[in-house]
Amino acid sequence: MKLVTGNSNRALAEAVADYLELPLTDCTVKRFADKEIFVEIHENVRGEDVFILQSTSYPANDNLMELLILSDALRRSSARRITAVIPYYGYARQDRKSTPRTPISAKLVANLITEAGVNRVVTLDLHAAQIQGFFDIPTDNLYSAPVMVRDIRQHYDTDKLMIVSPDVGGVARARAIAQRIGADLAIVDKRRPRAGVSEVMNIIGDVSGQACILIDDIVDSGGTLVNAAEALLKAGAREVSAYITHGVLSNSAHERVAGSKLKELVITDSIAETDGVRSAPNIRRVSIAPLIGEAIARTASEQSVSSLFD
């Protein structure tokens, strides 16, 4: 098999390649003067099982186009099967018509990926599980829960923990981790008056004297996390940390987190690290490279991927 990557997250691709003991395929992904993307594969891929590792994170449109053009180049080079490994699936938050006359962009992106020649998709912690149904090709949605549970057990006393979902929509995700470590579950009842803005209304559950860990899939502006942490501390929590899969952390979000009352924010390396995130004293990263690498190996050898999470 072959492992190909664009420019979205080179560090993660190299870590996955090390896990698989497989060199990255030699290819060129560059820009012309007018910023058009050009791709050239420098190795023979005819009849190969090829995996493209590319997150569609910031700059989302550029990284998405790299993925599509890489797929087209491989298809025209007679690759036997093309699997798009997308640790962070951009546009996932636009998964329904939230108001009249708005797009379902997550479905549009799924169509583009399929039409570009991809035969299979592997992604991580989709914002909404039903997005798997937007693809007309096999799709595996991996879960970061095993990675998070392992890290929580290494850094916290699980007998004195309360797992918290920052909203009702994330209860299933938080409950899965709470059950794995034998902790109780609380829920933050919030409302979102407009996109990117959230207000905490109530805390469902007794968090008094507890060390709380917020669990979510995406942190973008950081407002939800910061507000939830403040509300939990006001409700009597002893300390508040957060484990988030995708650290989007756009604009000055890392500064908001650094200046908040969060003890620490733990994110995976599904999105390339920025200088701001690297410099924040209370942001820590854990690697999903072994998880992604094992999923790729099992896909290539036609073994079960879901058994990774049993």
Q: Which residues are annotated as a binding site?
A: 34-36, 93-94, 127, 167, 192, 216, 220-224
38 and 32 Cβ atoms separated by less than 8 Å: yes
Helix pair 10-20, 289-300: axis angle to 10 deg: 60
Q: Is the dihedral of CA 189, 192, 196, 200 positive or negative?
A: negative
Let me know if 97 is a catalytic residue: no
Write phi, then psi, for 69 (nearest 5 degrees): -70, -35
Q: Which of 107, 190, 261, 263 is catalytic?
A: 190
Q: Is the dihedral of CA 39, 115, 84, 195 positive or negative?
A: positive
d(CA 164, CA 171): 8
CA distances (Å), origin 199, targets 190, 216, 230, 231, 235: 5, 16, 11, 10, 15
d(CA 106, CA 131): 7
Adjacent-strand bridge partners of 246: 218
The stretches of 101-161 forming alpha helices (DSSP H) are 105-115, 145-155
Exposure of 125 in the CB half-sphere (CA atoms within 13 A):
29
Both tokens assigned to 17 = 């390649």
Binding-site residues for D-ribose 5-phosphate, in ranges, read 192, 216, 220-224
d(CA 310, CA 271): 26
Binding-site residues for Mg(2+), in ranges, read 127, 167
Residues designated catalytic: 190
